Structure 1
């Protein structure tokens, strides 16, 4: 079986890379990092909207491009390479997928076209702090028409106009759609390791909301959404890991010590080789996940978990060893290595830490073998 992208998808990736390298250099990322009052790069976001990328996997009847999640995977990898400081992941991986999976035809017709146009920026609010949110421990409640409670941290919660929220309803959990610009919503920006991917605390006080899907299906729908998001996040992490390896390799070729490139030293060679191996393992698992999520395969839960675990490990290791390869320069503010390390650590806990996904993978395999 050939899991590789098609020629058209590779062309899309190449064009996206040219565009992002031109419109989103590291200086665009640092504009957000260096300004506490800026949560994302609005200029880059506007250009992403104009490119139509938000509608990549949105059907044509809703104004989208009518492509699929494979094309989103291609774009996600390129966004990861440049550490794009925009609410792309929250809107595309989580919010849009939640609407496609759980939204009614009326809800989709109302919101999806506004995502494509950029009028709606989405986020996904499940977490209420440490621990896995379930119907048993959720404190945010939905009474059928209004939402009350606190969600923290919410990725891009200070930027978003709308949110999909996991809330307790009766004895179960449900997904609800909330307009964050409406009444009953208070937001506070949080400080994180990576300010270029903003987070917020959102407090709901009888905020008007509408249910997505059926009452009590929240946990099941949340699992499905996270499986989709995990694969897309894995491609973004893969892009960051690939770029970190390239940075380390380029520096090892250019930096001379004692009259020779440092890349000629065995210790540096081993670092680069191990980075490459981990990246390739992640790429294989990402392709498996891409196949599963794009075809709706029964193997999606295990494929998503494997992609998530491998990509977290690859990006963290590559970003760490990139700093080490650069030596004393790698730890400085002026060199871009720390930007990749920040993003690697942050993405590793978005949608659940690797430990959560390892447990999920084990459970999935155990249930599969017991069947």
Structure 2
């Protein structure tokens, strides 16, 4: 088993990082926050132009037809840039849900639009405090009733894939009077969340059954890649600041305590990255290994990003807590990602319940 990326995947990652470095400087993120923007639309259009939105969508439906590791290198780049785009909602979750559980007609209608960026989708699974994947929303006779909250990127989405009462999935177009979207307070100002209320909303059943676990495991791997990219960005930011900051006539990074902090973050990030790679491989090549691999990737990524975001703040000192510093972008994203798709307890339980045979670590 080769845990290194191939040349094409490395090139894909380089292209994504170059684009994001050019289009998402920190001043751009501040502009988005100050203008109360819900997303970075020019960046989204550029991602579509370069084919990144269709990386795992089949060529038949206008995508590139690549695999989970290819998607992972893009997610890692997006995490490193703290990008304000609905990539997780629209591509990782909703598009894959349509691929796994949608009818041929649903796939033919929506996957090309999602790959081109013509349409945006979101995935609605939670219903407030309680189970991570709640099923109180009901679909009967083509009408959807209930509420989902929080739902990321709901205001800019054209369609939603909704988890319903029988554990199945429904596809609903959001531009109808029977759908109400209410913005929620969000700690991460670059990833807005909403409450969606359905009152006899017209919706379609998605015929694929038993696909939710596979979908969530695959999404967990991609969330791990995003967290790894962000953790690595925090590590580099903290390292650069420590080398520039002078304390008592010498660089802050010259002190052993700071070196140890940075080394601990680097070790945790590399462990999380290797688990994400294994999860990507399992998603493509070994479905039996995927549940354990996804849970381990998710757990190690949560840990490494939390450590990296916090140590980055600590190394910067008081200035790190100001809006003028850049640390807070990653700290806010870390707090949001720590509970997205389930918290540590949820994924620890999934790891314990996974089939044996995986060699991954969740430390």
TM range (shorter): over 0.9
How big is each residue's C-alpha offset from its partner over 1:268-299, in whole Å with a ceiling of 9 and x where there is no partner? 11110111111011011111101001224211
Deviates more, 1:42-51 or 1:53-62: 42-51
2:231 alignment partner in structure 1: 241
Of 154, 159, 163 in structure 2, the residue corresponding to residue 157 of structure 1 is: 154
2:2 alignment partner in structure 1: 2
How big is each residue's C-alpha offset from its partner over 1:187-246, in whole Å with a ceiling of 9 and x where there is no partner? 0111111010010100001111111125xx3xx322211101000111011000000000
Q: For residues 58 and 366 of structure 1, what CA distance do their matches in structure 2 show?
A: 31
Q: For residues 67 and 116 of structure 1, what CA distance do their matches in structure 2 show?
A: 13
1:31 alignment partner in structure 2: 31
Please state if 1:180 is matched with 2:170: no
Q: For residues 176 and 286 of structure 2, what CA distance do their matches in structure 1 show?
A: 35
1:21 alignment partner in structure 2: 21
* 2:126 counterpart SS class: coil
Q: For residues 135 and 115 of structure 2, what CA distance do their matches in structure 1 show?
A: 32
2:145 alignment partner in structure 1: 148
State how 1:186-335 maps to structure 2 within 5 Å. 186-214=180-208, 217=209, 220-335=210-325
2:361 alignment partner in structure 1: none
Q: For residues 243 and 32 of structure 2, what CA distance do their matches in structure 1 show?
A: 31
Q: For residues 28 and 42 of structure 2, what CA distance do their matches in structure 1 show?
A: 9
State how 1:44-83 maps to structure 2 within 5 Å. 44-83=43-82
Instruction: Flag the 1:279–1:367 CA change in 2: closer, same or farther, 3 A.
Output: closer
Q: For residues 339 and 93 of structure 2, what CA distance do their matches in structure 1 show?
A: 15
Q: Which runs of 5+ in 2 are unaligned?
A: 359-363
How far did 1:310 drift? 0.4
RMSD of aligned residue pairs (Cα, Å): 1.5
State how 1:128-139 maps to structure 2 within 5 Å. 128-133=127-132, 138-139=135-136
Q: For residues 99 and 273 of structure 2, what CA distance do their matches in structure 1 show?
A: 26
Please state if 1:356 is matched with 2:350: no
Q: For residues 250 and 131 of structure 1, what CA distance do their matches in structure 2 show?
A: 42
The answer as to whether partners of 2:291 and 2:355 remain within 8 angstroms in 1 is no
The answer as to whether partners of 2:39 and 2:84 remain within 8 angstroms in 1 is yes
How far did 1:144 drift? 3.5
Q: How many residues align?
A: 358
Deviates more, 1:192-201 or 1:358-367: 358-367
The answer as to whether partners of 1:28 and 1:41 remain within 8 angstroms in 2 is no
How big is each residue's C-alpha offset from its partner over 1:131-189, in whole Å with a ceiling of 9 and x where there is no partner? 2256xx63211104110101000011122111000011xxx322000101123111011
TM-score by length of 2: 0.95
* 2:63 counterpart SS class: coil
TM-score by length of 1: 0.93
Please state if 1:112 is matched with 2:111: yes
Q: Which runs of 5+ in 1 are unaligned?
A: none
* 1:5 counterpart SS class: coil
* 1:142 counterpart SS class: strand
